[in-house]
Amino acid sequence: MDGMAEVEMGRMAASKATDAQVKQFAQRMVTDHSKANDELKQLASNKGMQLPSSVDKKHQKESDDMQKKDAKKFDREYMEHMVKEHKKDVSEFEKQARSAKDPDVKAFASKTLPTLKEHLAMAQQIEASVKGGGGAAHSGSTAGNTGGSASRNMASGSGSSSGTGSSSGMSGSSGSGSSASRGTSSSSGSGSGSSGTNASSSGSGTKSPGK
C-alpha cells in the first residue's frame, strides 16, 4: 500500500474508529509508516530521485471510500483492508530483501520487513477481535505493546542505508524484483507498480507498501 496513503488512512481511522484497539492500531500505522516514508525519501534523495508528493488516484479513492463507511462498518472494514494490504506488503518486501540488486534497497527491505510482519500479526488479531465483538480491552493492550515493539524495530534500523515508514511509504526506490515499497513509481527503471510510497526506480524493474 502507498506509504502516504497508509498514513492518511491511519489518521482517518484514529479519528473515526469507535473501537479503542482499532484506534491504537491506526495511530501505530501513522507513526511507523511516517518513519518509513522519511527513510525512503532520504534513500531516494541519496540516489538523486524525487518521490511523489501526493497520494495516487487509486489509493485516494480507497481512502475516500473508507471515509464514507458508517461507524458500524468502519472498524471491521478498515481492519480487513489492513490485513489484505499488509499481506501484500510482506510478500513484496520478502522478495526485495532476497533479490534486490541495489544494496541500499535490499537493506531497506530487510530492515523494514520485521515491522511489516508485526503489523500484519496485529491487524489479524484485531480483525478477529472486532469481528468477534469482544476482547477489545485485551487486544487493544496487545496492539499497543506489539506496536511499540514495531516502532522500536523501525527506529533501530534507521541510519543504515536509507537515512531516516506503509506502509508504508515503505518502498524500494531502485533495485530489482517487486518493489520494496508498495506504491513506488518508476522514473528511470523498467516495470513499476504501486503500493508503497511511489518512489522512483532505477535499476532493473522495481515494482512499486508501512506498520
Q: What is the pLDDT of residues 45-57, one digit of tens each?
A: 888 888 877 788 8
What is the C-alpha separation between 175 and 195, in angstroms, rounded? 16
Segment 21-72, tens digit of pLDDT = 999 999 999 999 999 989 988 988 888 888 877 788 888 888 889 999 988 8
**Binning pLDDT at 50, 70 and 90, where does residue 133 land?**
low
Contact 169, 40 (CB under 8 A): yes
> Regarding the domain delimited by 3-157, which CATH topology (the fold level of the hierarchy) does it fall under?
Ferritin (1.20.1260)
What is the C-alpha separation between 174 and 165, in angstroms, rounded? 17
What is the C-alpha separation between 145 and 142, in angstroms, rounded? 5
The predicted structure's pLDDT at residue 194: 37
Contact 2, 59 (CB under 8 A): yes
- Dihedral class, residue 198 (left if φ above 0, else alpha if ψ from -120 to 50, else beta): left
Return the exposure string of 137-146: e unless at least 16 CB atoms fall within 10 Å of the residue's CB, then b. eebbebbbeb
Contact 2, 56 (CB under 8 A): yes
What is the C-alpha separation between 108 and 129, in angstroms, rounded? 32
**Average pLDDT, rounded, for the chain:** 72
Q: pTM of whole model > 0.85?
A: no
Q: Which residue is associated with the grid cell 535499476?
A: 203
The predicted structure's pLDDT at residue 56: 80
Segment 75-117, tens digit of pLDDT = 999 999 999 999 999 999 999 999 999 999 999 999 999 999 9
List Cα–Cα distances, 147 to 66, 101, 211, in angstroms. 23, 31, 8
Q: Given a cut of 70, is residue 139 above it in pLDDT?
A: no
Q: What is the dihedral of CA 211, 116, 95, 63, to 10 degrees?
A: -40
Rg of the Cα trace of the chain?
16
The predicted structure's pLDDT at residue 79: 96
What is the C-alpha separation between 162 and 143, in angstroms, rounded? 27
